[in-house]
Amino acid sequence: MKTIVVIPTYDERENAEAMAKAVLATDGVEILFVDDNSPDGTGEEIDRLAAAEPRIHCLHRKEKEGLGRAYVAGFGEALAMGAEKIVQMDCDFSHDPKDLPRLIACDADLAIGSRYVKGGSTPGWPLRRRLISRAGGTFIRMVTGMPLRDPTGGFKCWRSTALEAIDFRTVESAGYSFQLEMNHRAWRRGLAIREIPIAFSDRVAGHSKITPAIALESMKIALKLRKAK
């Protein structure tokens, strides 16, 4: 079963090579980096890696349009490459590549790496961040009716048929709330979803792109999705 790991990048030059090596430690997978014309030279660094390793690919985009748009482009490219399973993950090591085999082996249309099911954790997070994150998840479950413990989780493995079933190309969210909208579409479609425990850590290098506005965006999208219950 052909599996492609889609990893969006923007100013991730410090992490790209280490991430590629860590992901390719899982047998049989390929990587598709989706670079939004990073000013720090991430795209050029990935091209250098791809020249030496045929399992590494890079989709170059002209400008930064948001995480959601990068994933939509990456998923489309991965499907065109013949992927039967598509993993999505961050490039900053907050998602541990050692968890890839468990996600890929999961018998589900959508397997979500979850911080908040039994066995999941957020090591190194301050109490305030944990409380805000959990409160956000509770709010989303109450508003949308979606039963996921980690509704905004972004470390996921999709069957290609599941992506096509939810018509991922029409997802509206351009930013981080893309994760919520995709999960909600899968749930509404009645797809088989499983949450797999993971440890979600802070990034290893580079700068975080998470801001308070991102949390607010997710709340707004949750309220919008309530109408689709």
Name the residue ranges covered by the structural domains of the chain: 3-226
Predicted confidence (pLDDT) at residue 163 exceeds the cutoff of 70: yes
Residue spans of beta strands (DSSP E) within the chain: 3-9, 29-35, 56-60, 85-88, 110-114, 156-159, 193-197
Q: Tens of pLDDT along 30-77?
A: 999 999 999 999 999 999 999 999 999 999 999 998 899 999 999 999
Predicted confidence (pLDDT) at residue 14 exceeds the cutoff of 90: yes
Half-sphere exposure (CA, 13 Å, Cβ side) for 92? 17
Higher pLDDT, 134 or 96: 96
3-226 under CATH 3.90.550.10, yes or no: yes
Q: Residue holding tokens 């989706």?
A: 34
What is the C-alpha radius of gyration for the chain, rounded to an integer number of angstroms? 16
Per-residue burial over 40-71, b if 16 or more Cβ lie within 10 Å, else e, is eebbebbeebbeeeebbbbbebeebebbbbbb
Model pLDDT, residue 174? 77
pTM, rounded to two decimals? 0.90
Model pLDDT, residue 223? 67
Q: Tens of pLDDT along 210-222?
A: 455 555 666 666 6
Span between the terminal Cα atoms of the chain, in Å: 34
Closest CA to 28 of 87, 80, 96, 71: 87
C-alpha 177/C-alpha 184 separation (Å) is: 11
